[in-house]
Amino acid sequence: MTDAAEEHTVDRSDRLVILASSVGTVIEWYDFYLYGSLAAIITVQFLGAI
């Protein structure tokens, strides 16, 4: 028979990695949203007469 798998507990360093990754992902997606929105607005403002 096989032994049961050991249960892994999430310690403080694991939680810190998860938090840092989540914050980084939120900042990155906000940057994509901001760039996409402003690119459309700025294009119309600068190249609207073309």
pLDDT of residue 3: 72
In angstroms, the Cα distances linking 35 to 12, 22, 39 are 35, 20, 6
Residue with tokens 């028979």: 1
pLDDT tens digit sequence for 2-50: 677 788 888 999 999 999 999 999 999 999 999 999 999 999 998 877 7
pLDDT of residue 9: 87
pLDDT of residue 30: 98
Q: In the chain, where are the structural domains located?
A: 11-50
Name the pTM for this structure: 0.66
